[in-house]
Amino acid sequence: MDSGTNATGFHYQEGISLPGALGRTGTIYTPHGDIQTPAFIPVGTKASVKGVLPESIKELGAQAVLANAYHLYLQPGPEVVDEAGGLGSFMNWHGPTFTDSGGFQVLSLGVGFKKVIAMDTETFRSDEVIAANKERLAHVDDDGVTFKSHLDGSMHRFTPEVSMQVQHQLGADIIFAFDECTTLHNTRSYQEKSLERTRLWAKRCLVEHGRLTTIRSDHPYQALFGVLQGAQYEDLRRTAAKDLSALNEEGITFDGFGLGGALYKEKLGTIVRWLCEELPRDKPRHLLGIGEPDDLFVGVENGADTFDCVAPSRQARTSAVFTADGRVNLSNSQYQRKFAPIDSECTCYTCKNYTVAYLSHLFRAKEMVASTLATIHNEHFIVGLVEKMRQNIHSGQFYDFKAEFLGRFYAKRKLLA
């Protein structure tokens, strides 16, 4: 057994700290391999990073993948994934895996929900916000959430216990407690009630996780992360971090923490800092659903260890790709005769072998491989960016790297502002 691994096969070891901040390097040990942090984890929502084979995901530098419990519960069903030997075996990914609890997906069905919004878009506050022309597809009560499948309209119910059962059947190395994900439009009094509900659900998740870990002791250990809510309120965020790190249900505690909820972009760093100031240093912290370059720097600096987001692959499928000088759209006519890689400094498979002109043609011709090649590049760019942050914390040059990268990546935005 690895010297850094305890009896469960899961362990976190902190490495180097970032001077003057909460950022740090570290290693997460799981039964399916180690994750050097900080790290970006590509999302394979339905047990597939859309358009890209697992071999390519590994080759582009990803250390783990994250799938979604809500989607896999509906299709193909967690019992199918369990019979296949768990998520990793099912999708032929041999490294560490995560599943998120499904709370965000079931609760954001039908509401005008954005993970990160700018504060200037915040004009009203109500607990009955529903996106225009959309039927509300989820209803929450103190015991759980009833929701309508987006696939066939059938009714389903998630409780903390059901989420744990589904995630144990899916078998990922790191799973998340079921939480109520509020929107930034909810009132303060609703956020308070919701936070207490999430705390009670966290206790129930620990109990059910303990029960399932015992009865499924022939399966690899799964680490459970508690999810911290509290919206934009400092007292609620700090309370959430203190409460969930103190929970102990007959010896079962959280193995790590998910920093969750909708966030104002402008307050992202502050909220991550509030949480990480309260959290124990010997457990890893995952910032859920964050993947923009500037947000990743802010997250790393303030103490988040791992990140996931659908943005790099989703944007790639719309022909938007990252370069050191910002995002560009390969479908623009100016790229039809650009016989050079997307980014001359990039070492990914796509940039080593293909030109912008060819990719531009593939997108216009609607060839499937267009999405594949663009996704490989974007995931490599974001995974590589967080890996460079890790290396620069080690070498003591994080802040220089940050200034240089952001200055160049967002230079065009500054000119426009």
Q: Is 308 a residue of the active site?
A: yes
Does 111 help bind Zn ion (rule: CB under 5 A)?
no
Query: Binder to Zn ion among 115, 185, 283, 377 (CB under 5 A)?
Result: 377
255 by DSSP, 3-state: which?
Answer: coil
CB within 8 Å of 141: residues ≥ 6 apart: none
Query: Segment contacting Zn ion (CB under 5 A): 105-113, 159-167, 259-267, 370-378?
Result: 370-378
Pick the closer one to Zn ion by CB: 177 or 348.
348
Kindly report the CA angle at 87 between 84 and 93, in degrees rounded to 5?
105
CB within 8 Å of 330: residues ≥ 6 apart: 319, 320, 321, 342, 356, 359, 360, 363, 374
Task: Let me know: does 347 contact 388? Beta carbons within 8 Å.
Answer: no
- β-pair type (145-148, 138-140): antiparallel
Structure tokens at 45: 């929502």
Query: Segment contacting Zn ion (CB under 5 A): 31-39, 297-305, 340-348, 409-417?
Result: 340-348
Give me the catalytic one of 173, 179, 243, 308: 308
**Minimal distance in Å, beta carbon 2 to Zn ion?**
33
The β-bridge partners of 37 are 26
Pick the closer one to Zn ion by CB: 228 or 330.
330
Query: Binder to Zn ion among 351, 356, 359, 386 (CB under 5 A)?
Result: 351
Pick the closer one to Zn ion by CB: 221 or 335.
335
Query: Segment contacting Zn ion (CB under 5 A): 110-118, 201-209, 331-339, 343-351?
Result: 343-351
Instruction: Report which of 172, 137, 173 is spatially closest to residue 158, judged by C-alpha positions.
Output: 137
**Minimal distance in Å, beta carbon 389 to Zn ion?**
18
CA dihedral 168, 100, 183, 292 (to 10 degrees): 170
For residue 249, CA distances in Å to 7, 175, 194, 375 come to 19, 17, 21, 42
Query: Segment contacting Zn ion (CB under 5 A): 100-108, 129-137, 147-155, 372-380?
Result: 372-380
- Please, how many CA atoms are within 13 Å of residue 80, restricted to the half-sphere of its CB? 11
Does 348 help bind Zn ion (rule: CB under 5 A)?
yes
Pick the closer one to Zn ion by CB: 107 or 376.
376
Pick the closer one to Zn ion by CB: 91 or 359.
359
**Minimal distance in Å, beta carbon 44 to Zn ion?**
20
Pick the closer one to Zn ion by CB: 183 or 323.
323
Instruction: Report which of 171, 168, 166 is spatially closest to residue 32, judged by C-alpha positions.
Output: 171
Sheet holding 145-148, edge to edge: 138-140, 145-148, 155-158
Pick the closer one to Zn ion by CB: 74 or 348.
348
Residue 197 phi/psi, 5-degree rounding, is -60, -45
**Minimal distance in Å, beta carbon 325 to Zn ion?**
14
Residue 305: other Cβ atoms inside 10 A:
29
Give me the catalytic one of 100, 255, 295, 343: 100
Whole-number Å distance between alpha carbons of 279 and 301: 15
Task: Let me know: does 377 contact 342? Beta carbons within 8 Å.
Answer: yes
Does 69 help bind Zn ion (rule: CB under 5 A)?
no
**Minimal distance in Å, beta carbon 110 to Zn ion?**
37
Pick the closer one to Zn ion by CB: 56 or 169.
56
**Minimal distance in Å, beta carbon 213 to Zn ion?**
41
Does 116 help bind Zn ion (rule: CB under 5 A)?
no
Binding to Zn ion (CB under 5 A): which residues in 137-156?
Answer: none
Query: Segment contacting Zn ion (CB under 5 A): 156-164, 260-268, 341-349, 402-410?
Result: 341-349
**Minimal distance in Å, beta carbon 56 to Zn ion?**
12
Instruction: Kindly determine how many residues on this chain lie close enough to bind Zn ion according to the rule CB under 5 A.
Output: 5
Only one residue has tokens 């959280």, namely 254
Query: Segment contacting Zn ion (CB under 5 A): 85-93, 186-194, 342-350, 391-399?
Result: 342-350
Whole-number Å distance between alpha carbons of 215 and 322: 46
Does 346 help bind Zn ion (rule: CB under 5 A)?
yes
Catalytic residues: 100, 308
Residues engaged in binding Zn ion (CB under 5 A): 346, 348, 350-351, 377
